[in-house]
């Protein structure tokens, strides 16, 4: 089965419309919190040609018992993604953290420093690590300890062990990884797979927000960058390859220390083979 990881504020709404055109009724949208009960309810929908699309993390295939999984995703520059997320929350009263940010008049830097939510701290790497084998109880304990010890409301992803775990998953399970600035590569990939014709391969522009000014000085910019160092390294690694005309795959690990290898083994999902067809 095919899985598209919709990383928030990374052109996912537009890509979803493209996937609807390409896969039709085979497309299964997932925008609920993923737990064991919800995953179990998805199993009757699982067929060889099913396509799952939405806000879920890597390793959904483990929950679904899929031994032939292929993943896809698009990355956006982390600083741009965080700024776009902040604007969306401020603009929309229905957004999860709107009342907190608007009510307390939090700047974007203050929200990041508080560790308010996962979207503000290496969110792309979080999604790509996405280990469903970590229990919800453990995650809640990690958040609690982070708040008590470091003043961060959500446990912060730091350290190259998480980046390396994400890279290992990309190398072994992803048939396509692209960047938002090169959406043409995604349409070419889908056309190559035979699910789109060249004439219908344009990506529709959906969920384009009206302009909104947010003043960000150099210090605030550095706060965002520091909280998203892993995402920055990953994005620059992949974008650099793509912009040089090289294949994104394979990716080299960012650290080779024994400690990192140990953590990778602990975080990793069993990987018997590469996903197969890749966009070269």
Q: Do the Cβ atoms of 156 and 150 come closer than 8 Å?
A: yes
Residue 208: pLDDT above 70?
no
Taken as a whole, the chain contains a residue count of 280
Domain presence at residue 95:
yes
Percentage of residues in the chain with pLDDT exceeding 70?
Answer: 85
Domain presence at residue 277:
no
* pLDDT band at residue 222 using 50, 70 and 90 as cut-offs: very high
Give the other-Cβ count within 10 Å of 79's Cβ. Answer: 16
Mean pLDDT along residues 189-218: 74
What CATH number should be reported for the domain holding residue 245? 3.40.50
Domain presence at residue 57:
yes
For the record, the structure tokens of 199 come out as 């004439």
User: Is the peptide bond between 250 and the residue preceding it cis, with omega within 30 degrees of 0?
Assistant: yes
The pLDDT assigned to 276 comes to 44
Mean pLDDT check: name the lowest of 150-154, 256-260, 263-267: 263-267
**φ, ψ for residue 246, nearest 5 deg:** -100, 165
User: How high is the mean pLDDT of the chain?
Assistant: 87
- 1 alpha-carbon distance from chain centroid: 18
The pLDDT assigned to 256 comes to 65
Dihedral sign for Cα atoms in the order 100, 101, 107, 111 = positive
The pLDDT assigned to 279 comes to 42
pLDDT digits (tens, 9 = 90+) for 63-90: 999 989 999 999 999 999 999 999 999 9
Residues spanned by the domain of 230: 2-267
Residue 137: pLDDT above 90?
no
Classified as helix, coil or strand, 176 is strand
Closest CA to 82 of 55, 59, 56, 110: 110
Mean pLDDT along residues 20-41: 92
Q: At what angle do helices 160-173 and 258-267 cross, to 10 degrees?
A: 60
Domain presence at residue 272:
no
Instruction: Report how many domains make up the chain.
Output: 1
Domain presence at residue 273:
no
Domain presence at residue 276:
no
Instruction: From residue 62, give the alpha-carbon distance in Å to each of 28, 59, 166, 252.
Output: 17, 5, 16, 24
Please tell me the pTM assigned to this model.
0.89
Domain presence at residue 61:
yes
Domain presence at residue 275:
no
* pLDDT band at residue 199 using 50, 70 and 90 as cut-offs: low
- 48 alpha-carbon distance from chain centroid: 24
Residue 277: pLDDT above 50?
no
């Amino acid at each position: 089965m095919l899985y598209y990881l919709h990383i928030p504020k990374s052109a996912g709404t537009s890509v979803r419309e493209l996937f609807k055109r390409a896969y039709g009724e085979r497309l299964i949208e997932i925008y609920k919190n993923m737990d064991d009960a919800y995953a179990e309810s998805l199993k009757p929908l699982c067929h060889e040609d099913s396509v799952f699309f939405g806000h879920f993390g890597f390793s959904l295939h483990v929950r679904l018992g899929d031994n032939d999984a292929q993943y896809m995703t698009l990355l956006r520059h982390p600083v741009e993604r965080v700024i776009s997320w902040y604007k969306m929350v401020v603009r929309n009263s229905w957004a999860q953290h709107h009342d907190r940010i608007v009510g307390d008049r939090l700047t974007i830097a203050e929200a990041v420093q508080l560790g308010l939510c996962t979207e503000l701290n290496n969110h792309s790497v979080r999604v790509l690590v996405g280990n469903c084998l970590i229990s919800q109880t453990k995650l809640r304990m990690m958040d609690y300890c982070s708040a008590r010890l470091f003043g961060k409301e959500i446990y912060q992803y730091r350290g190259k062990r998480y980046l390396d775990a994400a890279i290992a998953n990309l190398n072994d399970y992803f048939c396509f990884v692209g960047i938002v600035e090169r959406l043409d590569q995604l349409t070419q990939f889908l056309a190559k797979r035979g699910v789109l014709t060249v004439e219908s391969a344009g990506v529709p522009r959906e969920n384009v927000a009206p302009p909104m000014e947010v003043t960000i000085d150099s210090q605030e910019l550095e706060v965002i960058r520091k909280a998203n160092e892993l995402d920055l390294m990953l994005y620059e690694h992949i974008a650099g390859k793509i912009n040089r005309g090289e294949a994104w795959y394979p990716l080299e690990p960012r650290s080779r220390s024994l400690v990192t290898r140990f953590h990778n083994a602990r975080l990793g999902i069993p990987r018997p083979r590469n996903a197969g067809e890749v966009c070269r």
